[in-house]
Structure 1
Amino acid sequence: MRPLHQRYTLYSERNDTYIFVPEGEAQSLTIHRSSGDIVLNSPKYTVPYAAQRSQKTIYGILGLISLTLSEYVIVVTGRALQTQFRGHDIYRATEFDILPLGVVSAYIPPHPVESHLLALVRSHLNGGNFLFSYTWDLTRRLQVQQGAEESDAGKSFWEVVDDRFFWNRYLQTKLIDIASSNPTAAYGSFILPIMYGTFEVKPTFLHGRHMLLALISRRSRFRAGTRYFRRGIDHSGHVANFNESEQILLVEGQTSPGSVPANDDSYVTKLSFVQIRGSVPVFWSEINTLRYKPDLQIMDLQDTGNAMQIHFSNLKKIYGQQSLVNLVNQKGYEKPVKEAYERHISELDQPGVKYEYFDFHAECRNMRWDRISVLIDQIKEEVDKNGYFQISQGESTPKRIQTGVVRTNCMDNLDRTNVVQAALAKYTLNNQLRDLGILSPDDGVDDYEAFSKEFRELWADHADSIAKAYGGSGALKSDFTRTNKRTRRGALEDGYKSVMRYLKNNFFDGARQDGFDLVSGTWIPRKNPSLSLFLINDPRPLITRSMPAIASFSLFMICAGLTLPRTSDYSLFYYFLLWFFLFAIAMVFILIHGIEYVAWPRLNPPTDIIYYNGPGYRSGHHGKGLNGQAEPSWKHSKGSATGRRRAKSNVEELELGTIRKRVD
């Protein structure tokens, strides 16, 4: 593949141009600020004498984003070496800079709407785990890369990466369009793909073999978002929280215990095992109402079967046979999701898709987490049939290929899913080491504590990273992944993580979701900030906005009253009665109107889902006022597309099957 530029010096010529000069003899790139034109300079081009040099080193161009007042260039100004793998450096982006093309300041914008949108972009960039490499494609699994070596020759990175995991694909649209129309020019060397995910490598040693154990998670950019604001499937067949996890094992030839690998070529065998996870592929959601358990909403749309068929057809085309493992509870709150999934799967009856249910909480109750082996026994025939990828040094043809994957899901695709995926990864790792002759048929990874610890830590860190990105806290049940035991201390830590998830999901994830929608291009602003004032205004009535302040002040006065001198118990009784009464009234009002106090996304508010009245299932109508029908103030806020658009019915709205981009 064509190499990527790894370092730039940035020059700016007054307010006219940005000039990116790569290291070496490569051509520089000029972006004209007034017109937005991007030009590849001739090899003989020299930077103007009057151009001002930036003190920051640029490590990559993430792309361009257009907001209400200006277009901006987003660049990487800080990076940290995440790991080294097969001779390639893998970096994590740590610092970013936003360069305006128009005559505006990216730090003190002249309009509050522009300032708000820039804050969303910065928050998204600083809150994600973005990885990149200049010399190795992070987005494709080993098996795919091995089979595409000839076709990749002479292409740029952006042309070969997996589009699902090309996180900044929308930001790079302008550069990609220019590169596509000028295929012989070197524009592609400026297009840096980044991946949202994790990559961790652990060197280890077992029975005279040096090995590298690596684990990669790749998060899809489609239907991306946060826990309660992105659930289920869309009409294009994309599901929420879709992640591909690839466990890679590099094995060296036989050596003595005191030796070290000479170089990357000493790993004579490369093995890979891939799993996927994704939300239950039906139209469903959970609606926050400030209660610990949100209202469960399932929308039984006519398009559900078609969307599910598209989803599984795409997965079969990419991965092969599908083994579906569903961990959703078969009783209580989660039961309707399980039933909807199974009903549509049975109606679909698609060849190459096998469904398996496992009642995780019932089987593993009372901390009997060793019962995961029951699930392994149920699906090991399929796992063995799907196999794994293996290729040896010097061979052009793989010894084995993986012909299918296990797709695991629970409600969030986090905690239970992590435990099951780690168990399947360990089962496959045991098979790989036995097939290589490193382990005997009666031995397993758990028999070697040092090696087993490296494996457990790898998967526990992997679980925490995915859970933080989607749910807002580290993974629950990670003590079992780390120690092979479920402990009471781990249960207490899970309680703390659950509280943090509740707080973040109700009061902070709205802005996070807006960041996803803005950077991914799901919402596109118009060039007029006045049309987007609804983003910074609070349309709620004064009484609604005042209740948290009344509750807080009442609580303060109650606490203050405990310190007052008790000269008259009679007067203090009425004092406490007054403030307890005001506090209770405020809290009851907040709970009855809970939807008004959730930090909803403002770019694409889920009004049509919250007030869906078509066929399906709804666990309750909490937080909507006394009659359960009140609409939130932001639904009709001036300037909001949702407030202006009145569909004939929610059913028609959701069955249109189109992705509506907000352009207010």
Structure 2
Amino acid sequence: MRPLHQRFTLFSERNDTYIFVPEGEGQSLTVHRSSGDIVLNPPKHTIPYARQRSDKIIYGILGLISLTLTDYIIVITGRTLQGRLMGHDIYRATEFDILPLAPISAFVPPHAVESHLLALVRSHLQGGNFLFSYNWDVTRRLQAQWDSRETDGGKALWEVVDDRFFWNRFLQAKFIDAATASGNPAFGSYILPIMYGTFEVRPTFLHGRHMQLALISRRSRYRAGTRYFRRGVDHEGNVANFNETEQLLLVEGQTTPGSVRPTEDNFAVKLSFVQIRGSVPLFWSEVNTLRYKPDLQIMDVPETTTAMERHLLTQTKTYGPQSLVNLINHKGHEKPVKDAYERYIAELDLADVKYEYFDFHGECRKMRWDRISVLIDRMKDDLEQYGYFQVSADEPAPRKVQKGIVRTNCMDNLDRTNVVQAALAKYTLNLQLRELGILNATDGVDDFEAFSKEFREMWADHADAIARAYGGSGALKSDFTRTNKRTRKGALEDGYKSVMRYLKNNFFDGARQDGFDLITGNWVPRKNPSAALFLIGDPRPLITRSMPAVASFSLFMICAGLTLPRTSDYSLFYYFLLWFTLFSISMVFIIIHGIDYVAWPRLNPPTEIIYYNGPGYRSGHNGKGLNGKEEPSWKKKKWLTSGSRRTKSGVEEVELGTLKKRVD
């Protein structure tokens, strides 16, 4: 692959251009601020005399985003080295600058809508875990890179990455268009793909062999979002919270005493094991109403079969045969999702798809977490049939290839899924180490505490990162992953994490979801901030907005009354009666109209899900007013005409009230 530029110096010529000059040899790049044109300068291009040099080093161009007033170039100004894998540095982007194309003086003070959208962009950039490498493809698993190694040689990195995990693909669209139109391969050195996910590599030692154990998770940009605002499948077969997780084992050759260990990519054997996770591929959601358990909504529509089939066939085409491990409870709140999932799987009856149900909470109740071995015993045949990828330095072809994959899900694809995926990864790691002769047939990873600790901590950190990205807090049950034990301390920590999830999912995730939709191109603003005033207004009636203030003030007065002097037990009776009454009325009102107090996404509000009344299952109509069907005030406003939603095919859908119009 063609190498990428790793450092730039940024020059600006008055308010006309931004000029990116790469370190060392290479053609500079000019972005014209008035027209937005992106031009690759000829070799040895002279920088204009009347230019201003930025005092920050640019480590990469993330892309260009268009908001309501102007376009902005997003650049990486800070990075940290996450690790070195097979001789390649893997970085995490830590700091960003957003450079406006229009002169700053053109909108001072900035419009409130533009400021809000910029805040969403900054929040998304600072809250995500963005990884990249200048000379290695972090988006593709080792086996996929090996399969295409002969055709990747003369291509730019953006041309070979896995499109699902090319997180800034939408932001790079104008740069890619410019590169395609120019036909100049040097353009590709400026297009830096980034991945939203996790990466960790740790050196280990076992039975005289030096090794590296690495773990990479890759989050799909399709149907991306937060826990309650992105569930299930879309019409194109993409599911929410889809992650590909790859465990790498890199084993150095045996060395003689006193010899120098290699420091670069000189591993004798490289092994890769891949798993995936994703939301249950149905049209379903959980509707927040301030209750701890949201209303469950399953939409039994004719398109479900097609969408599920499209999703599963895409995975089998990519990975081969797959086993679906379902960890959803067989009773209670989750049961309808399990039943619907199994009904459609049986209806499809796909040849390369196996279904395996495991009652996680039932089998592991009373902290019997060792019972996960029951699932491993069931999956042994599939795991050994699917295998793993193995390539040796002294052999021209891989010794083994992974022929299939395990797809694991629970309701959120977080906590139970993390525990099971770690167990499957440990089982496969044992197979790999025994195959290499590093472990005896009767030994396992858990028999070597130092090695086992590295494995457990890596998987626990990985679980926490995925859970924070989707659910808003670290993973539950992570104490078992870290220590191989379920403890009461871990249960208390899970209680705290559950409270944090509740608060974030109800009161903060709406803005987070807007950030996902803006960065991935699911909502494209128009060049008219007045058309998006709904983003900064509050259309709720005064009585709705005032109730939290009434409840807070009443509670304050009750607490204050406890400190007041009294002449008898009845002297403050009417005082407390008044404030208890106001507090009770306000709280009852908030509970009845709970849906109006959830921080919903505003760019793509899920009203068609919340008020779906077709065939399917609905656990309740809580928090929607006294009759349970009243539309919230934020739906009644005519503010859905302000943006457009870009589909995977590049066609825009403009929302006009409840009517969707395609704009080619």
Question: Equivalent residue for 2:103?
Answer: 103
Instruction: Please give the per-residue CA displacement for 1:350-389, whole angstroms capped at 9, x wherever unaligned.
Output: 1100000000000000000000000011111011000000
After superposition, the Cα gap between the structure-2 partners of 1:215 and 1:371, relative to the gap in structure 1 and judged at 3 Å, is same
Do 1:523 and 1:661's aligned partners in 2 also have CA atoms closer than 8 Å? no
Give the Cα–Cα distance (whole angstroms) in 2 for the partners of residues 341 and 234 of structure 1: 15
| Contact 2:640 2:656 (C-alpha < 8 Å) held by counterparts | no
Structure 1 unaligned regions, length at least 5:
645-657
Alignment of 1:5-44 (within 5 A): 5-44=5-44
- 5 Å-filtered alignment, 1:1-150, equals 1-104=1-104, 110-150=110-150
Q: Which residue pairs with 1:244 in the alignment?
A: 244
Which residue of 2 is the match for residue 473 of structure 1? 473
Partner amino acid for 2:126?
A: N
Matched-pair contact (CA < 8 Å) for 1:605–1:642: no
Alpha-carbon deviation of 1:572? 1.0
Distance in 2, matches of 1:660 and 1:620, equals 31
The whole-number CA distance in structure 1 between the counterparts of 2:108 and 2:490 is 45
Alignment partner, residue 647 of structure 2: none
Partner residue in 2 for 1:270: 270
* Offset, 1:565: 1.4
Indicate if the aligned counterparts of 1:210 and 1:255 stay in contact, CA closer than 8 A: no
Q: Name the counterpart of 1:653.
A: none
In the other structure, the counterpart of 1:157 is 157
* Kept in 2: contact 1:209–1:251 (CA 8 A): yes
Counterpart of 2:484?
Answer: 484
1:5-45 CA deviation, whole Å, 9 max, x = no partner? 10000000111100000011211000000010111111131
Partner Cα separation in structure 1 for residue 299 and residue 201 of structure 2: 42
Which residue identity lines up with residue 304 of structure 1 in the other structure? T
Equivalent pair of 1:525/1:663 in contact (CA under 8 Å) = no
> How many angstroms apart in 1 are the aligned matches of 2:109 and 2:390?
54
Q: Offset at 1:638?
A: 3.4
Taking the aligned partners of 1:371 and 1:359, their CA distance within structure 2 comes to: 11
From the superposition, tell whether residues 303 and 629 of structure 1 become closer, same or farther in structure 2 (CA, over 3 Å). same
User: Are the aligned partners of 1:239 and 1:280 in contact in 2 as well (CA < 8 Å)?
Assistant: yes
In 1, Cα distance between equivalents of 2:312 and 2:24: 47
Corresponding residue of 1:595 = 595
Contact 2:63-2:73 at 8 Å conserved across structures: yes
Q: Distance in 2 between matches of 1:592 and 1:397?
A: 65
Aligned residue for 2:662? none
Give the direction of change, closer, same or farther, for the CA distance of 1:302–1:480 in structure 2 (3 Å limit): same
Question: What displacement does 1:178 show?
Answer: 1.2
- RMSD, matched Cα: 1.8
- Distance (whole Å) between structure 2 residues aligned to residue 185 and residue 158 of structure 1: 11
Structure 1 residues 62 and 663, CA, compared in 2 at 3 Å: closer, same or farther? farther
What percent of counterpart residues are identical?
77
Greater Cα offset, 451-460 or 99-108: 99-108
Q: Does 1:611 align with 2:611?
A: yes
- 1:15 alignment partner AA: N
Does residue 1:387 correspond to 2:378, yes or no? no
Give the match for residue 460 of structure 2.
460
Task: Give the match for residue 430 of structure 2.
Answer: 430
- The DSSP-based 3-state class of the residue aligned with 2:230 is coil
Cα distance in 1 for partners of 2:641, 2:297 equals 23
Q: 1:24 to 1:663 in 2, by over 3 A?
A: farther
Q: Which residue of 1 aligns with 2:191?
A: 191
Q: CA deviation at 1:103?
A: 2.3
SS of 1:39's partner is: strand
SS, match of residue 119 in structure 1: helix
Q: CA deviation at 1:663?
A: 9.1
Partner of 2:515: 515
Which amino acid in 2 is paired with 1:91? Y
- Structure 2 partner of 1:654: none
* 1:182-204 C-alpha deviation (Å, 9 max, x unpaired): 23341111000000001000101
Offset from partner CA, 1:188-247 (integer Å, 9 cap, x none): 110000000010001010001000000000000000000000000000000000000000
**2:243 & 2:360 partners in 1: Cα distance?**
21
**What is the TM-score with the length of structure 1 in the denominator?**
0.96
Q: Deviations over 1:421-446 (max 9, x none)?
A: 00000000000000000000000000
1:537 paired residue number: 537
Q: Which amino acid in the other structure matches residue 526 of structure 2?
A: R
2:293 equivalent to 1:293: yes
Structure 1 residue 223 corresponds to structure 2 residue 223: yes
Provide, for residues 38-88 of structure 1, a one-character-per-residue CA deviation record: whole Å limited to 9, x for no partner. 111111311111100001111000110000000000000111111111111
1:359 maps to a residue whose letter is D
Q: Which secondary structure state, in structure 2, belongs to the residue aligned with residue 571 of structure 1? A: coil
CA distance in structure 1 between the partners assigned to 2:635 and 2:265 by the alignment: 60
**Shift of the alpha carbon at 1:394?**
2.9
The one-letter amino acid paired with 1:24 is G
Q: What corresponds to 1:207 in structure 2?
A: 207
Cα deviations across residues 257-292 of structure 1 (Å, max 9, x unaligned)? 887732234420000000000000010000000000
2:399 and 2:106 mapped to 1: Cα distance? 54
- After TM superposition, the structure 1 = structure 2 runs for residues 298-447 of structure 1, keeping only pairs within 5 Å, are 298-447=298-447
Distance 1:106 1:216 in 2: 44
How big is each residue's C-alpha offset from its partner over 1:303-337, in whole Å with a ceiling of 9 and x where there is no partner? 11111111011101110011100000000100000
Q: Secondary structure at the match of 2:608?
A: helix
Whole-angstrom distance in 2 between the partners of 1:444 and 1:392: 23
* 1:559 aligns to 2:559 (yes or no): yes
Deviations 1:115-136 (A, max 9, x none): 0000000000000000000010
Give the Å deviation of 1:105: 6.5
Take 2:582 and 2:642, find their aligned partners in 1: how far apart are those partners? 35
User: How far off is 1:165 after superposition?
Assistant: 0.2
Deviations 1:384-420 (A, max 9, x none): 0000000001322000000010000000000000000
Aligned length: 652
For residues 489-527 of structure 1, the C-alpha deviation after alignment (integer angstroms, 9 at most, x for no partner) is 000000000000000000000000000000000000110
Give the AA of the match of 1:251: V
**d(CA) in 2 for partners of 1:394, 1:73:** 46
Q: Is the 8 A contact 2:325 2:406 kept in 1?
A: yes
Corresponding letter in the other structure for 1:347 = E
Structure 1 residue identity aligned to 2:349: D
Whether the 8 Å contact between 2:7 and 2:59 is mirrored in structure 1 is yes
Partner of 1:647: none
CA separation in 1, counterparts of 2:107 and 2:319?
Answer: 45
The whole-number CA distance in structure 2 between the counterparts of 1:60 and 1:88 is 17
Tell me the secondary structure at the aligned position of residue 570 of structure 2: helix
Is contact 2:128-2:196 (8 Å) kept?
yes
Cα 1:106–1:464 shift into 2, 3 Å:
farther
Aligned to 1:583: 583
Q: Deviation of residue 159 (structure 1)?
A: 0.1
Alignment deviations for residues 89-135 of structure 1 (CA, whole Å, 9 cap, x no partner): 11100000000011236996521000000000000000000000001
The DSSP-based 3-state class of the residue aligned with 1:497 is helix
Aligned partner of residue 246 in structure 2, secondary structure: strand
Letter in 2 for 1:317: K
> Could you state the TM-score of these two structures normalised by the residue count of structure 2?
0.96
Q: Cα gap change, 1:287/1:463 in structure 2, threshold over 3 Å: closer, same or farther?
A: same
Aligned AA for 1:537? G
Deviates more, 1:254-263 or 1:232-241: 254-263
What residue in structure 2 maps to residue 648 of structure 1?
Answer: none
2:660 is aligned to none
1:642 CA drift (Å): 9.4
